[in-house]
Every structure is written in C-alpha cells, then in structure tokens.
Chain A
Amino acid sequence: MRVSRAIVLPLMFLLFLHLIVLVAGFVTPYNAATQFREDPFAPPSRVHFFDVNGRFHLRPFVYDWTSGVEFAKYVEDRNRAFPIRFFVTGNAYSVAGLFRWNLHLFGVDEPAHLFLLGSDGYGRDQFSRFLFGGQISLFAGLLAAFLSLSLGLLLGAAAGYHGGALDAALMRTTEIFAALPWLYLLLALRAVLPLGFDPAPTFLLIIAVIGIVGWSRPARLVRGIVLSAKEHNYVLAARGFGATELYLLRRHVLPQTRGVVLTQATILIPQYILAEVTLSFLGLGVAEPMASWGNMLSALQQYSILTSYWWMIVPGFLLVPIFLSYYILARSFESRVESSSY
C-alpha cells in the first residue's frame, strides 16, 4: 500500500502524541491529582537561561512563585534559582498499568514547582494533567470509534447482505438516530446513565454512549457497499462454486468496505474525542479527580476564571493540532476512496 506524502507528518505526530500520553507518568513532573494547595492558579513557570546578573546558564532554571496577600497573585522570588533537573525521582506512577516507577524525565527541587502550563484552582500542574487527561480523552475517542465502526460494520453488513425485514428495521432505526441533533442525542443517552458513580465504570459507560451515537452513518455506508458488492460477478461466481456465505463475506464483500471504514475512523475519532470533552465540560463526563481534557476546561464556566487566568484555556487550544492531523488524514483517505471507486 502506497502512503501518500501528505499523511506522513500527521501520522507521525499522532503516533508521537499517543506514545507520550501512554508514558505520561514519566514525561510529566507530577501526577494528575498531585495538589500544591499553596499555589492555586499559579501562572506558567518562566524558564530562564539568564540569571539576575545577566549570566548565561546552560541548564535552564525557574524561580519559585511567591504569593503576596492577594489571592493567586504571584511574583518570582529571584533570591534562589531552581535548576531544572533531568531523570529525577518523584511521585510514583504506573506505566500503562503494568509496572510502577518513580523516575521522571524532568522536575525541579522543592519548594519550587515546575508548572509549564500553569496550575489550576487546586494547585495541580496543568501540563501533567493535560498528558494524563490524554490517556482518558484519546482512549475514549479510539475505543468509542472502534465500537461505532464495529456496530456499523456488523449491522450494515447484515442489513445489506440479508435485505428484507432486517434491512428495513435497521434502516428505520438509523433514521431515528439521524433525526436527532448529535449533541442532543449524546446528552439524551447520557441521561440514561447514573450521575454520581464510580469514575472507572462511568468512564466505560460513557464510551459506550459516545460510541452508540455515531453508528448509523457508517452502517448506512457499509450497507450501500455490501449491497453493490454482493452483486459483483466474481462474488456470484464464487457462490456458484459453492463458497459458504461466511467465506464470501470475509473474502469478497467486507474487504471492499475497508476504505469507507478507514475514512469513517478518521472522522469519528476526533468527533468522539470532542464528545468526551463536551460531556466532561458540561459536568456529565469523566469525574474529578481523574483528569480529562474536558474536565480541565469545565472550570472555565466561571467567568472569573476565564478572565483572570488565561492559561486555563490553553489545554483547549492544544487540541487543535490533533484535530488538524485527523482532518488531513480524513481528507487524504476520502480522496483515495473516491478515486478508487471510479
């Protein structure tokens, strides 16, 4: 399979991002729930190379934020520099739930803290929370898209291959799903789940809800392809030679849907990441103290936070490159499907 040049960069970026997020515990200086109560809403740490006397240091350093009498107003304490150290020991974390470790890529000595993206209202490091949140949000997007596509593939293929009453019933069902604006549908399905609950099962249920929202479009597309594919001469010939139905589906019919499934995946994954972000932003998604990209933004519903602490909005804009990458992939796959169907 030839890979067009346009998708190399976004693909590399996404792979890199997933890798980083997977080993978030190592890359981040703190854990998602580590609180520094004395440092709420600390602005991003300024990384210095020149000290107060103007001397250059090869090893970058930060100053500690000291707060005055006013809440969350900080100045740098220039009396003592804290060099950024690499491969330091800190909070224990687990990598992909497999083994525990306490080595971090970088960090600074106490009492200073390294807040690359500032800290939130509980004094938690936003950078660390962003990467740990990626574990939730990216995973939610991938898993929900997988669920949607499996459902779509299964039901679409069944409808297209069998036809008859099954086809009619499934297509009516997709009409019901299509009649609701997707966000209303998402919230309506969310309403079925319990509100306050254990975070872990809720997270899985939310993935299920998000996945169910979008199955109808892939199902319709797959159905269309299966409908035309099963009438191809070579399929009819294979059937004439006594091939079983299962063999025909696996060997001849389903491979035809690969392009559509791939394209739908690149469309659905970012949409589902956004669905998790939206749900958690509205307070119906992943619950604290777990970090997710959505619940990092939910604090912004308060005007005072939105206006006073600009760095709180930054995680939202960090999502743009991710969506851009998926967008480029989707465009590329789309044009490939179109050109191959003629």
Chain B
Amino acid sequence: MRFLLHRAAQGAFVLIAISIVGFLLLHIAPGEFFSEIRLNPQIAPATVDALRVQYGLDRSLPAQYGLWLRSALRGDFGFSFAYNRPVSSLLWPRVRNTLLLNTVALTAAWLFALVLGAWAAAHPKGWADRLSAVLTSTMLVVPDLMFALALLMVAVRTRRFPAGGMLGLEAAEHSLWSQAQDFSEHLFLPVLTIVLGVFPILYRHVRSSLAEALASPFVQAARGYGLGRNQILFRQAFPAAANPLISLFGLSFGLLLSASLLVEVVFSWPGLGPMLLESILARDVYVIVGVVLLSAVLVIIGNLFADVLLYWNDPRIRAEWQ
C-alpha cells in the first residue's frame, strides 16, 4: 500500500509541475485567443478589453493560475474561449472516444504480441520466428503516418470501410445492433493502424524476455524433471519474464496515445488529438493545458496500473515495501 501511495504522490507531483510549467510557457507564448479579434474593425477595442477582464486575462500570472486551480478543483479545468464552455465539458466526450479507440487497440496489440511472442520464443529459429522477425522489422521502419494514410486510401478506394469519423451520418436512426456494427466498422482501420505501429515493439520485448526466461537454468531444470512444454511456458517462464513486460505495459499507454493522436487526425476520430490541434491553432490556452494534462493523467494511470501488477507479481517488491 505504501508503495502505491508513494507512486501516486509522485504522479500528483508531476501533474502539478506540468500544469505550472504549461501555464508559464503558454503565458510567454506570443499571441492569444483575442489577438485575432482585435484585428476585426467591427469589434471595439473596449469590447475586447472587457472580454479579457471577464476571462481574467488582465490579472497577474500567479492570480490566473490560482483562478485556474480553483476551477480545476471544481472540476471545470478553466474555460474555453473558442467554445465559451468549461473545458471539462469539452474534454469528457473526447476522452471517452480516445479511450474507446485505445483500449481496443491496446488489448489487440498485447494479445497478438503475447500469443505470437510466446509462439516465437517457444520455437526459436522456426519459420514463425523468422517470419515475424522480418515482418516486425518492416513495421518498425514504416512510420505510423504512412500506415494511416495508406489504409485510409484503401478504405476510400474500395469503399469497404468508412473513411473516418466514429459513426455514420444516419446512425442514430438505426437499431442498436446496426449501430454497433457501424461503430465497429469505423473502429477497424484506426485500431489496425495503431496496432501496426505498436505491435512490433511489444512483440520484440515479449519474445526476447520469454526467450531469456526459457534459457535460464531453472527452466532447464524443470525440463529435466519432465514437465510439459505448456506447463513450463505458462507456469515457469511467464512469471519470470513478466516484470519487464509489466513495465512495458505501463509505458505502452504513452506509446499508444502518441500513435492515436495522428491516427485520430487522419481518420477524423473525434478524440483528444484533433481537439489539441484545434486548440493550438486557436490559441485556446486552457484547452491546451487540459488536453496535455489529461494525456499525462492517462500515462500516469497506466504506470500506476503497471505498479499494481508488479506489486502483485513480484514478491521481492512486496517484501521491500512492507
């Protein structure tokens, strides 16, 4: 328990630091949301000044940060200039969509990586091992962006898959079943792109750590005792190889979010990525801070989750913190 509290406190510290640094940097940044309105001759400068006062932009930086912190504690996370709404109300549907995309991709990528990695490690230098070595190298050197563009090109040309978005236009009018079908069709290509980008990294780690565990003396001993191959693989090798993989699981949240930002933009998936891009172009400062903080929260949650798993899997960590 103390272990987790320690880790959670570290995460909270990082979040606060990010919010402060983010505030500072965006304050230094030239231009703000209202600088474009100022250029409009039909809006009086006094109106713009009044707006700035209304949003608290005339106050000092620490005061602005204090205001933001208060609104963050209230659950609003500031106010979007462009949408004239609390940032959180903008972000929640976006986070949900990003998470939907990423949980499916995360599950798929890890499933493939574990199954194929275990297969390849159990049959080193076999045809599957060699084939996957070539395939994963290829996937590693082709940028995610090109996967996304190529798949989108195929989608639009063949008309087999919808070319972006999350739901079809008339989706709301259909039955629940056909809505689900429509949704999964929209989901397929973005998920495939993310999986193609992340899978090779996961696969390589699974394969190498399992192969290492399988070559270790205690596994050889187990083999000597005549234990079956599956029992050796799942009861002996997996727990021993799990630690680096669990850490990688935590890290893979960040990898996935990065991959999904691009994928969301290319496939117009209404997630956090397009929102961040839009807010940068509009200089909608609180939305930028909100999205960036949320991405950090997701990564930190991923790492905490990995810590829980580590704590559960490794008796050494339990002993150290008790």
Contact = CB atoms under 8 A, between A and B. Distances in A.
Interface string B22-38: 10011011110000000
A210 interface: no
Contacts of B254: 180-182
A301 interface: yes
Q: Mostly helix, strand, loop or mixed at chain A's interface? A: helix
Interface stretch (B44-52, B211-219, B292-300): B292-300
Contacts of B21: 176
A195 B277 CA distance: 12
Contacts of B281: 195, 283
Interface residue range, chain B: 35 or more
Given A191-B280, A306-B156, A181 B258 contact: yes
A33 interface: no
Contact of A179 (B28, B280, B288, B296): B296
Interface stretch (B136-144, B185-193, B224-232, B310-318): B136-144
B143 A182 contact: no
B148 to A, nearest CB: 10
Contacts of B13: 172
B258 A195 contact: no
Contacts of B140: 327
A316 B149 contact: yes
A316 B143 contact: yes
A194 interface: yes
Contacts of B29: 191-194
A14 interface: no
A99 interface: no
Given A277-B143, A319-B143, A184 B25 contact: no
A282 B18 contact: no
Contacts, number: 121
Interface residue range, chain A: 35 or more
B178 to A, nearest CB: 24
A333 interface: no
A306 B152 contact: yes
A194 B299 CA distance: 28
Interface string B141-173: 111011001101100110000011000000000
Nearest to B16: A176
A320 interface: yes
Interface of A: 172, 175-176, 179-185, 187-195, 274, 277-278, 281-284, 297, 300-301, 303, 306-307, 310, 313, 316-317, 319-320, 323-324, 327
Interface of B: 10-11, 13-15, 17-18, 21-22, 25-26, 28-31, 137, 140-143, 145-146, 149-150, 152-153, 156-157, 163-164, 253-255, 257-259, 261-262, 265-266, 276-277, 280-281, 283, 288, 291-292, 295-296, 299-300
